[in-house]
Amino acid sequence: MPHSIILLHTAIALVGIIALIVAARLNPVIVLVLGSLYLGLATGLGVEGTTEAVTEGFGKLMADVGLIIGFGVLLGSLLSATGTLQRIVEVFLRIFGRGKSPYALGLASGVVFPAIYFDVALVMLAPIARSVSRRTGISVAAVGGALAIGLEVGLLMILPGSAALAVSGALGASLGMMLLVGGVVGILSIVISVFLHGKLMRRTWDPAKDEAESDETSLGIAVDEVEEPRRRLPLIVLLIPAIVPLVLIVAGTATEIAGTEIGWVKLLSDPVVALLIGLLLGCVICGCSLSMRSVERALSRGAATSGTILLFNGVAGSLGEVISRNGVGDIVAGMFHASSFSPLVLAWVVAALLRLAQGSGSVAAITGATLLLPVVGSLGLDPVLVVLAAAAGASFGGHVHDNTFWMFRGLLGLSTRGAFQVYTVAQSIMSIVALLLVLCASAIV
């Protein structure tokens, strides 16, 4: 089938999905499955190939992140029940003040959490973001956008973010230079982008349209109603269920970077195992602080929340699998050549188009950077700049075929229109800001 026809059908499917969800207000799960079926059949996968892609895409995504999301949401529900999240917010506001809370959240998620899997960090930080919004009166758009910006920078630009490490390795970029230049570009990108996104949201955010309706509020973890504890434990004790998984995952990342493999560290640092340990600790601490009945209630609330989020994520995986099989990513990459125009802009454009087409920021960044791999030595550019340009492009335009879009929608209690403003718009602003910073850095590095 001609490439132009495949691209046309892909565009029709994506525009149709967005229109039916946002304008017609149809259920996203049904629309995503229908869009996946249309795209597979229209681009020549056949009946069997299409249905197989839809089911396998759902299953693959559940295998990758299902337990991570489930355990993370359950842990967040326990932390909410014990009042831990509220006490974190109180400390947070005392240190940074109300007005600077979006910047603090963005920088914390980008600089402190790069070693943590994106999905793990999101399910832990989203309830805190919602609580900060409620306590400060700052729009959830501002704090949610800061979270979206910070986590994406931490994944793609700041070491030891997994995608940053992968792209740096592919291009042979110096990790020392990546740590230095990527850190500066990443931090500036967060601060400038949070400011610009916050200004924009003051003009465009409409709580009536952008936040979930009353019957949808169960999609986010409630953080306001807290049962009076039988005994008030120190905050550091209440934080143990959240700290232990993070320490375990960071330990695993450190041993991996060092090139050593320790069996028990590898087991305990697996995100699923680490979160399970945190969840068990959370049950014990919640039971001691409150009661076992409270533990059961918190887990039931968390299960209801995670079930909806997992369903949204799974069908987004179905669409992503269909797009992967019809070859859109290869088509987009093949449309460009390293000699086309400015190599940094080229890396950004290719990565941005791939992110728009197939959803994965990591895949988009790696493809955008490796496109220039054969000629990067002759361009006179430090490979770190190419890595950062591709990372910036890979942040652009994530939307309905990106499972993280639906995680933001569910965990922050947003409508689909609101998720576009908090996730898609915020990261797209950061993408453009980061490209401009990389172009400025190219005059120095």
pLDDT band at 146 (very low <50, low <70, confident <90, very high): very high
**Start-to-end C-alpha separation, the chain:** 44
Name the pLDDT band for 219 (thresholds 50, 70, 90): very low
Higher pLDDT pick, 285 / 315 = 285
| pLDDT confidence band for 217 (50 / 70 / 90) | very low
d(CA 20, CA 30): 10
Query: H helices then E strands: how many in the chain?
Result: 23, 0
Q: What share of the chain is helix, strand, coil (3-state, %, to 5)?
A: 80, 0, 20
Share of the chain above pLDDT 70, in %: 87
E strand spans, 100-249: none
Higher pLDDT, 3 or 198: 198
User: Is the distance from CB of 212 to CB of 415 less than 8 angstroms?
Assistant: yes
- For Cα atoms 84, 89, 90, give the angle at the middle one, nearest 5 degrees: 100
The amino acid at residue 193 is S
Among 93-102, 109-118, 220-229, 289-298, name the one with the lowest average pLDDT: 220-229
DSSP of 295-311, one letter per residue? Answer: HHHHHHHHHHHHHHHHH
CA angle centred on 146, ends 142 and 109, rounded to 5°: 145
Radius of gyration of the chain (CA): 21
Axis-axis angle for helices 140-156, 118-136 (nearest 10): 160
Quick one: which of 408, 67, 62, 404 has its CA closest to 219?
408
What is each CA distance from 36 to 39, 44, 47, 312, in whole angstroms? 5, 12, 12, 13
Mean pLDDT, to the nearest integer, of 193-220? Answer: 80
Tell me which of 4-13, 149-158, 196-205, 317-326 is least confident: 317-326
Tokens 């609101």, residue located: 418
C-alpha distances in Å from residue 80, one per residue of 222, 295, 362: 7, 11, 31
Q: Give the pLDDT band (50/70/90) at residue 115.
A: low
Q: Is the pLDDT of residue 214 over 60?
A: no
Structure confidence at residue 339 (pLDDT): 46
Distance CA(121)–CA(134), nearest Å, equals 20
- Give me the residues paired with residue 414 across strands: 211
How far is residue 215 from each of residues 168, 207, 208, 211, measured CA to CA in Å? 45, 15, 13, 11
Please give the pLDDT value at position 188: 96
- Give me the mean pLDDT over the 128-150 stretch: 90
**pLDDT value of position 226:** 57
Show the CA angle centred on residue 333, arms to residues 330 and 339, nearest 5°: 150
- 3-class DSSP state for residue 25? coil
> Which of 39-43, 149-153, 359-363, 400-404 shows the lowest mean pLDDT across its residues?
359-363
Q: Percent of the chain, pLDDT > 90?
A: 31
Continuous H helices in 259-382 = 263-269, 271-289, 292-325, 328-334, 343-358, 361-370
> Do 69 and 349 meet the contact criterion of CB atoms below 8 Å apart?
no
Question: pLDDT (tens digit, 9 = 90+) per residue, 166-181?
Answer: 777 767 778 778 888 9
For tokens 């630009």, the residue is: 157
Looking at residue 229, what DSSP letter applies?
P
State the virtual CA torsion across 176, 177, 182, 184 in degrees, nearest 10: 100
| Mean pLDDT score, 264-273 | 89
Angle between helices 84-96 and 118-136 (to 10 degrees): 70
| Position 192, amino acid | I
Question: How many CB atoms sit inside 10 A of residue 97's CB?
Answer: 11
In 10 A of CB 224, how many CB atoms? Answer: 11
Res. 25 pLDDT band, cuts 50 70 90: confident
Report the pLDDT value the prediction gives residue 223, as an integer from 0 to 100: 47
How high is the mean pLDDT of the chain?
Answer: 83
- Structure confidence at residue 327 (pLDDT): 82
Q: Residue 53's pLDDT is what?
A: 94
CA atoms within 13 A on the CB side of 232: 3
User: What pLDDT is recorded for position 444?
Assistant: 84
pLDDT score recorded for residue 237 = 93
Give the mean model confidence (pLDDT) for residues 200-222.
Answer: 72
Question: Band of the pLDDT at 281, cuts 50, 70, 90?
Answer: very high
Note the pLDDT of residue 310. Answer: 80
CA atoms within 13 A on the CB side of 13: 30
